[in-house]
Amino acid sequence: MGLCCGMIGLPNVGKTTVFNALTGDGALAANYPFATVDPNTGIALVPDPRLIKLTEIFTSKKTTYSTLEVRDIAGLVEGASKGEGLGNQFLGHIREVDALLHVVRCFQGTDVVHVSGGIDPLRDIGVIETELMLSDLETLDRRKQKTEKKVRAGDKKAAFEVEFLAKLIGLLDKGEWLGNREYTLEERVILNECQLLAAKPVLFVANVSEGKNADDTMVQMVRGFAAKRGARVVTICGQLEAELSSLPESERADFLGEMGLTESGLVRLTSEAYTLLDLITFFTAGEIESRAWPIPKGTKAPQAAGKIHSDMERGFIRAEVYHYDDLLTCGSEAKVKEKGLFRLEGKDYVINEADIVYFRFNV
């Protein structure tokens, strides 16, 4: 699907450490600003315990997880919108992503130097968001000037756009974030064309040190800020996750147990990222392979089939569907059919979260 999240934040907040844990890549994580100049790009597997269960039930030979493209974008600094710290180049990388993972430092420690000399999560968030908004103001001002020329030439549609652009400029001038707002379809088209940074969905990633109560005060500050915005927060210990990802799969559960954890923070992070992108997961399962497929919420059966192969969408006949929960309750696909929970659905069927689907199609 080409969906991509960009990791943003100030230098030395742990972005690249979290990125490496998430994607398994060996990007440079250094104790100085701008260690990452070009964005590191990696593919993150989306852990899903339901898929493991399907593999067990169907004794599948192969298990294939959903994936998400993640880009580690160099740390921004105050003045980035004016080119400070190669800011213009970095802001350009951000415009290309679908959503933002804003990593916020919520850990103390003198071994990792903060660019501002002290730890203050809300100040750090403010610096980043201000630079994104200032960059957007320049983008909107240029577009508004061009569109006003069309209005003077008699273009009636352009008049609506100028009015909308002026509204966006007014919001940004007041320091208002453009995301998490309701827009009409016509307005959304303009937003997408402008690729505004402050209109992208954001997930705040509070990077903490080890320990259940580590840095809780700072995390609560981030949660309070996000709540006012209607945004979400996930807490993660980047260093711990990096250690975990370096272990063999067979040793990870024991490691988590020793740390008093039931699941990796990356499980929560990827799950929240999917929520942020408004995605759901359906499954295909059988002896050969059990696989998770991400699709936008509201996708109909033929388009879901096209996710697997374009021929399946073109030749779609019907979808044979039952739910993961029903399989778990019944214990087998045969029992699902016996209880009448196995359904035949047509082209107007909207795929639901955790549907297990087999598509019938003509070649």
List, for residues 115-159, the tens digit of each pLDDT value.
556 789 999 999 899 989 998 999 999 999 999 999 999 888 899
- How do the domains of the chain map onto residue ranges? 4-276, 298-361
Predicted pLDDT at 84: 46
Helix/strand/coil for 246:
coil
Regions of the chain short of the pLDDT cut 50: 1, 26-37, 80-81, 83-87
Task: State the Cα–Cα distance between residues 222 and 215, nearest whole angstrom.
Answer: 11
Model-wide pTM > 0.85: no
What residue spans of 195-347 are helical by DSSP H?
216-229, 238-245, 249-258, 265-276, 301-308, 310-314, 324-330, 333-338
Predicted pLDDT at 243: 83
Strand blocks (E) in the chain: 4-8, 40-46, 62-64, 66-72, 99-105, 202-207, 232-236, 279-284, 289-296, 316-323, 343-345, 355-361
Domain 298-361 has CATH 3.10.20.30: yes
Predicted pLDDT at 161: 95
4-276 and 298-361: same fold? no
Residue whose tokens read 């088209």: 189
Q: What CATH number has the domain spanning 4-276?
A: 3.40.50.300
Predicted pLDDT at 214: 58
Task: State the Cα–Cα distance between residues 41 and 71, nearest whole angstrom.
Answer: 4
Predicted pLDDT at 87: 42
Predicted pLDDT at 359: 97
List, for residues 40-86, the tens digit of each pLDDT value.
888 888 888 899 999 999 999 999 998 888 888 766 655 544 544 43
Predicted pLDDT at 75: 62
